[in-house]
Structure formats: C-alpha cells, structure tokens
Amino acid sequence: MPPRDGRPWLPVALLFLQVPGCWCLSGPTSVTGTVGGSLSVQCQYEEKFRETAKYWCKSPCLGDIVVTKESDKEVRSGRVSIRDHPANLTFTVTLENLTEGDAGTHRCGIDTSWLPGYMIDLTFRVVVSVTPGPSSVRPTSTPGLHRTLPVPTWGTATLQETPNSSQHPGPSLESHPVEDQASKGAERSLLSSIYFWVVPLLLSLLSAVL
C-alpha cells in the first residue's frame, strides 16, 4: 500500500494555481467612480510575469480587451488605457468618461497561454461601480423662480393709477385765503369808484345850495 504522503493532492494544488483569482495576481476587489469621471485600477503581479502581456476586459471578456504591447508604453482602446510598469511589477488600467454601462465585473489578467504548466490565463476580478455625477442630478427649483415678474393684475394696476393725495392735493382750506383776497380787492375797487364819483357830486350839490 503506497504511503499516504499527500502526493495524490499535487495535481489538485497545481490546478488551483491556474484558476482565476490566484495569488499570482492581485488588486482591488472593487472600485467606484462617477458618471463622466475617471478611475484607475492597479494590479500587482509576480516577478516571473515581468515580460508577459497583461490585459483588461469586462466579464465575460468576449470583446473590448485592452492588451499591453511594450513595457512602460500606454495602449489605448476607446475610453480605456493600460500601461505595464515592470519596475514595480504592476500594470495600471484607466477608464475615462465613465458611463453607467461601465458598471459590472471586470478582470485584470495575464496572458499565460504560452507558458508551460498554465492551462488558462491568470485573472483577478474587480467590481466597478458607477454613481451618478452632480451634473446628472436634476436640481429641484421652484417653478417660475428664474422667470420675469408677471404683469400686475387689474387690482394692483388700479391702485397704481389712483392718484395719491400727497402728490395731487385737492381743494382744501388753504385755498380760501386767495378767494378772500380777491373779494376784498373787488370791494376796494367799488369803494374807490364811489369815492371818486359820489363825493364830488355831493360837494357840487352842497355848493349849489349855498
């Protein structure tokens, strides 16, 4: 009977290293951005993958895959760019002008299809969340707040057209002295006429009698 040294479990352990999300590749499990903004994801890999191509895609990774070509050279596809930094064993993915359609599960991966002992690529899952930006939220405002003032109603127009007693004073007791002066002037004229005509006439009659 063969010794129970754990050798039958070796193929299982090797298979575990080849499944997506192994510790050969790591990064943030989730990132959040706003509509119209941008976000960056940095994934870390091991030294043995320094010369290996890296990529970014949205699950199930059937299209829109951005793959690095040269070290420290940015590769862009639409609103997504990727750059490998072999000096610190990381590669950075940047998503610009985010939309609500960018939300979901994405994967940063390493192309290990040409490496011996790897059946599938190494990938790490990153959940992207996109929240509405300030510009996409409609501000609540009072209807007519920015409109011109309405035309005054009939009631207000009537009040405005009504003459003010302080601006257009009507007849008052202050006008009576003017009338009194006019009447007094007429009386003086009449007395003057009587004096100049009646008095000489009376004097003539008195001298005739004498």
Domain extents in the chain:
19-133
Per-residue exposure over 83-122, b if at least 16 CB sit within 10 Å of its own CB, e if not: bbeeeeebbbbbbbebeeebbeebbbbbbbeeeeebeebb
The reported pLDDT for the residue numbered 18 is 40
Work out the number of other CB atoms within 10 angstroms of the CB of residue 59.
Answer: 14
- pTM here is 0.54
The reported pLDDT for the residue numbered 141 is 54
The reported pLDDT for the residue numbered 47 is 93
**Cis bond upstream, residue 60 (ω within 30):** yes
Report, in angstroms and rounded to the nearest whole number, the Rg of the chain calculated over CA atoms.
Answer: 53
Do residues 118 and 49 touch, judged by C-beta distance below 8 A?
Answer: no
CATH number of 19-133: 2.60.40.10
The reported pLDDT for the residue numbered 134 is 73
The reported pLDDT for the residue numbered 182 is 60
Rounded Cα–Cα distance for residues 27 and 187 (Å): 118
The reported pLDDT for the residue numbered 4 is 39
Do residues 128 and 102 touch, judged by C-beta distance below 8 A?
Answer: yes
Q: Coil, strand or helix: which one is 95?
A: strand
Digit-by-digit pLDDT tens for the chain (210 residues) are 433 344 343 333 333 334 444 568 999 999 999 999 999 999 999 999 999 999 999 998 888 899 998 888 999 999 999 999 999 999 999 999 999 999 999 999 999 888 887 778 899 999 999 999 776 555 555 555 555 555 555 554 444 444 554 555 554 444 455 556 666 666 676 666 666 666 677 777 777 775
Do residues 107 and 10 touch, judged by C-beta distance below 8 A?
Answer: no
